Amino acid sequence: MNQAAMHDAARLLLRIALGVLVLLHGVAKLRGGMSGIERLVEANGLPGVLAYGVLVGEVLAPLMLLLGFHARLGAALVAVNMLFAVVLAHMGQLGQLDGEGGWALELQGMFLATAVAIMLLGPGRYSLNQR
């Protein structure tokens, strides 16, 4: 396999991993309802309707990543979603370790870092519009 093909395969792997894992969170919110997210948003002084932005970041954006359809934009939406999640729900854990010694926000951090990497790298050849 040549170098370009390996880079495209790696980009595809990043998109699939991030897309599937974030989409699972979105599906859980679709199935479980949005009331908890609405309460969290309102508790932070924001209008409850903004809670539905999580569906953009956890359903629409992951689908964009999986298809490679404007994947840089999809990755940016996931990154923004992760920043909101950290600020609204996880700020108290920012400097904490979990019971196994890992960072308490390692999942959110990995989602954010992977989204930024896809934004920088682009989707690669194995995508709908290769942007």
Tell me the per-residue pLDDT of 25-42, one tens digit each, with 9 for 90 and over: 999 999 999 999 999 999
Whether 90 is in a domain gets the answer: yes
Whether 131 is in a domain gets the answer: no
Whether 130 is in a domain gets the answer: no
Whether 127 is in a domain gets the answer: no
71-85 mean pLDDT:
97
Q: Identify which of 18, 54, 110, 39 has the alpha carbon closest to the alpha carbon of residue 10.
A: 18
Whether 126 is in a domain gets the answer: no
Q: CB within 8 A of 108, min separation 6: which ones?
A: 82, 85, 86, 90
Whether 49 is in a domain gets the answer: yes
Provide the domain limits for residue 106. Answer: 3-121
Please write the tens of the pLDDT for every residue from 35-66. Answer: 999 999 999 999 999 999 999 999 999 999 99
The domain tally of the chain equals 1
Whether 117 is in a domain gets the answer: yes
Whether 73 is in a domain gets the answer: yes
